[in-house]
Structure 1
Amino acid sequence: MLKKGNKLYSILTGTCPKCHCESMYLEKNPYKLGKLFKMHERCSTCNTKYKIEPSFFYGAMYVSYGVGIAFAVAAFVISYVFIGTSLVNTFIAIVATMIVFLPIIIRLSRNIWINFFIHYDPKIAK
């Protein structure tokens, strides 16, 4: 389905955007909250620097807003439209979804943000 060379591969797996060979994060599991933001300095395969400049990932906050809205809309549609819960229960479902998926939203946003600036290079990939 998803193969190396596709930006979606890097975004969903959290791998290096240039070679897609190594995870950018020290801990792959985003629910280990103490290590949620911990990243390798560089890719060991292609030597790509992940933090292009100081505060580089502040831009990911703007992306996280859009990703969060997508998760909230999905929670609304599932709970209100498909399941048919009341508006109060739908609101609770949206809040619960946002809390539960916060680590995933943060990681996805960072992955999307870095993939705006670094592009896959098939010559480097193994």
Structure 2
Amino acid sequence: MFTKGTKLYSILTATCPRCQEESMFKNKNPYILSQALSMHDTCRHCGLKYKMEPSFFYGAMYVSYAVGIAFAVAAFVISYFVFNAGIDMIFISIIGTLIVFMPIILRLSRTIWINFFVSYNPEASKK
């Protein structure tokens, strides 16, 4: 399930969806905010152009919304059912979770979006 060649592998490791050899992002640390969304133009192994067309990653905003909702629901479930928090603390925990995980959510949404359009090709990594 989490082996090379699956979309899940490419999404969670943020590697090129075609060859899964190289990271799509220039800096692996998403918490360096000035470089959080800084991506390579192309993959050095297979030559995949990441921005396939102008404004390609605008669609990732819709994915980002869904991923943000998933993180918010997880924060609600943990704070309400595990810690028996009140409504004010639940609200604070949801907002805090979204702020802390924002760089991860943004990167995750971009990798999910590009994986909608590009499939793994084992021959691409041999170039």
Common fold: TM-score over 0.5 = yes
Do residues 50 (structure 1) and 50 (structure 2) align?
yes
Structure 1 segments, 4+ long, off by >4 Å, are: none
The offset of 1:83, in angstroms, is: 1.1
The offset of 1:82, in angstroms, is: 1.4
Matches within 5 A, 1:72-83: 72-83=72-83
Look up the SS of the partner of 1:59 in the other structure: helix
Q: If the length of structure 2 is used for normalisation, what is the TM-score?
A: 0.96
The offset of 1:125, in angstroms, is: 2.6
CA-based RMSD of the aligned residues comes to 0.9
Do residues 12 (structure 1) and 12 (structure 2) align?
yes
Number of the residue aligned with 2:21: 21
Count of aligned residue pairs for this structure pair: 126
Look up the SS of the partner of 2:124 in the other structure: coil
Do residues 90 (structure 1) and 95 (structure 2) align?
no
Q: Percent identity?
A: 63
Letter aligned with residue 15 of structure 1? T
1:11-55 CA-to-partner distances (Å, cap 9, x unmatched) read: 011100000000001001110100011110100000000000011
Q: Which runs of 5+ in 2 are unaligned?
A: none
Look up the SS of the partner of 1:11 in the other structure: helix
Following the alignment from structure 2 to structure 1, what is the Cα–Cα distance between the partners of residues 51 and 29?
Answer: 20
The offset of 1:123, in angstroms, is: 1.5
Following the alignment from structure 1 to structure 2, what is the Cα–Cα distance between the partners of residues 27 and 63?
Answer: 22
Q: If the length of structure 1 is used for normalisation, what is the TM-score?
A: 0.97
Look up the SS of the partner of 1:2 in the other structure: coil
Following the alignment from structure 2 to structure 1, what is the Cα–Cα distance between the partners of residues 5 and 15?
Answer: 11
Following the alignment from structure 2 to structure 1, what is the Cα–Cα distance between the partners of residues 27 and 55?
Answer: 21
Do residues 110 (structure 1) and 93 (structure 2) align?
no
Following the alignment from structure 1 to structure 2, what is the Cα–Cα distance between the partners of residues 35 and 83?
Answer: 35
Q: Which runs of 5+ in 1 are unaligned?
A: none
